[in-house]
């Protein structure tokens, strides 16, 4: 069955440090994409980064990078130089290119301490 798992319900990080949020997935398909979204307490889900299964290089967007390990079926989000405004829920999502079906992990709550 296709599944996305975020094993860390909650994480703490010190301001200015880097943090890795885990995401593993289970699929037998070869064509898929992985998204990360951020949801602050205001409620709006904000797109952060995308990685396609055939992309050879790890995706990066500013302070966000995706550590994509296809053989291990993991797509961890790395946030460098954490800021107080990074405190939020973070969701990993996976889309199957063949069906366009998108499924979501349950999220990781990140708290950045000053």
Partner 1 sequence: DVKVTQSSRYLVKRTGEKVFLECVQDMDHENMFWYRQDPGLGLRLIYFSYDVKMKEKGDIPEGYSVSREKKERFSLILESASTNQTSMYLCASSLLQDSYNSPLHFGNGTRLTVT
Footprint on this chain of partner 1 (rule: CB under 8 A): 33, 35, 37, 42-47, 50, 52, 91, 95, 97, 100, 102, 104-107
Looking at the Cβ atoms of 20 and 39, the one nearer to partner 1 is 39
Looking at the Cβ atoms of 14 and 31, the one nearer to partner 1 is 31
CB of 68 to partner 1, least distance (A): 14
Strand partners, 90: 38, 108
CB of 50 to partner 1, least distance (A): 6
Looking at the Cβ atoms of 11 and 45, the one nearer to partner 1 is 45
Strand partners, 109: 10, 89
Cα separation, 68 vs 99, in Å, equals 22
Closest of 82, 77, 89 to residue 112, by C-alpha? 82
Q: How big, in percent rounded to 5, are the helix, strand and coil portions of the chain?
A: 5, 55, 45
CB of 15 to partner 1, least distance (A): 26
């Amino acid at each position: 069955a296709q599944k996305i798992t975020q094993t860390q319900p909650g994480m703490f990080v010190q301001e200015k440090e880097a943090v890795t949020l885990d995401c593993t997935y289970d699929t037998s398909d070869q064509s898929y994409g992985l998204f990360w979204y951020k949801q602050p307490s205001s409620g709006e889900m904000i797109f952060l980064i995308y990685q396609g299964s055939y992309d050879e290089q790890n995706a990066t967007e500013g302070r966000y990078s995706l550590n994509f390990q296809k053989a291990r079926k993991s797509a961890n989000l790395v946030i460098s130089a954490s800021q107080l405004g990074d405190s939020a829920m973070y969701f990993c999502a996976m889309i199957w290119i063949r069906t366009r079906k998108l499924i979501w992990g349950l999220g990781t709550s990140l708290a950045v301490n000053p």
